[in-house]
Structure 1
Amino acid sequence: MRTVRMLTAAALAAGGLLAGAGAAAAGSPSANASASPGGGAAGPTEAGTAFRTATPLQPGLRATAEASTGDYLYWVLPLDSGQRATVKASVKLPPAASRHAASTWRIDVYDGLRRRQACTYGAQSATAAKDAASVELSCTLRTVRPGAEPWAHDPLPGSYYVRLTAAEVAKEDLGQPVRVEVSAETRDTGGAFAVDGALAQPLVPGITARLAAEAEGGAAGPAGGDRPAAVGEPDGGWSGGRWSDRWVWTAAGGVLAALAGVFGYSLTRGRGRPQHVPPRG
């Protein structure tokens, strides 16, 4: 009976460890839970026109911009290992009376090496009818991994560039004014996607020169310079994949295995001994 009580208490303690791991993963920093580009706190009010001039955008903020149909609009946001990001865009189109045909809009996401990342789901491309007032786009990326093989195309920690443009539009409609809203939400996936190894540095353009300059006590970038836009980092800095709740699950599994061994031993330790036979007479 005492053994059963000990096993029950230990099992409850292991359950507490697992619950704590889930709570830590749920409580880790992530973007706001707005369901549309119209939600979230206000962010930047402009967009870049190339990778080099991309406007920095933190997850959870809503970026807006006034642009013209046919422009290429760029934003850049930091994504860390274990995060799964969803980028949303809303384009308010010109009045229907001034448009000549339907238009197709597209949103693409590139990593720090400017490799286009695939969308797991979402309306990455959408066609707006001639009389449509707006068009909505969405792209959910794969979970960012802390490391990968050199030949792999896995998303890695670093800067991610969002590009929005009209993929197909009538020539007569080029240059007409539009208003766009872009936001990004992130969700921490925990240790389920953790792997061994991690990048020495996140894939952020210009980060090597910046870290070298900081180590020498100099400026963080070229003097008065054309500093890369993508030097931002997530709240709390880059994790680098050093910690994941997979460690907690492994420890809890070891505890449960040890308890199972103790319980099995307690069931079998009295068997196999010769029974005492009282003397006759």
Structure 2
Amino acid sequence: FFDVVDYLDSDPMKFGEHLQLIISQIPEWNSRFINYSKLKGTIKQIKRAALTEAAANPLGHSFAFKKKLVNDEETPLLMTAGKSFSMTAGRSFSMTLSPAEDDTDDEDDENEMIYSYADGVEAFITQLQQDCDMVLNFYRTTKDEYNGYLQEFIKSQKESRGNPGKYKDSISHLYRRLDTLWTYASTNKLAVKKIVKKFNKNVKKRDKVDAEALTAEWRTAPLDDLAENVEDVFADHFCAGNMVLARRRLRSRSIFTFSHMDAFICGLLVGWLLPAVLFLQRSFMEIKKSK
């Protein structure tokens, strides 16, 4: 399968934009993804709530979150101009005196107003847990459904029912859907990893979240095993047992058939090639001017 995670993890383009691209290529599953933009907006609300609490301090300074929050629950401190003091609200942060960050973003409109740090943390964790439960349930159900299709085909052939040739397109389609499900699980896992990393940078130590624990059951290994079973079946029935040929045909069908993931892969190729073309064009113009 195309390793979309390696690509997304290394590409400089914003992850949220890539995520929307992937979701747009699987429209029937668009409501089954982690709500990344809403969670990101909640983090911004948490930061703003902290700024509001800091502004309520008698010194009246504006503060901005440090990118990495350092807190000690025994001695919570708010740093300002070389001095420190505790917040009366009981929840305090390590801060640096600087202009407040401008976090204005359209995606904030998706979030309810959060009036305190504690409310923000609770809202984030609740939403994240609900999204993770949804993804896990959908992943399990869909994986079992696809496995059922394959087992039904194997059973029908053992019972000598029907001509296997008529199932060729169905088996190829199943392989493509497994590819899509693999991308779905991997992308959601990466979304959780990235949003939790943002969250953990902006909360107290006791409120940090373990992304690995949340996504531990989103393993793609079972899908890899299921894909190998599909390749075995395809090789036995349509390629005279030639596994190399079976894989080549299945993967070529996956790339050149007009499916959602084909459009996605084409989009990725455009994303790679377009910057290169623009760079070459710019270089050519500069050389021409220098002459």
> Shorter-chain TM-score: which interval?
under 0.3
Higher RCO structure (Cα 8 Å, ≥6 apart):
1
Question: Which protein has the larger Cα radius of gyration, Structure 1 or Structure 2?
Answer: 1
Greater strand percent: which structure?
1
Higher helix residue share? 2
When normalised by structure 1's length, the TM-score is: 0.27
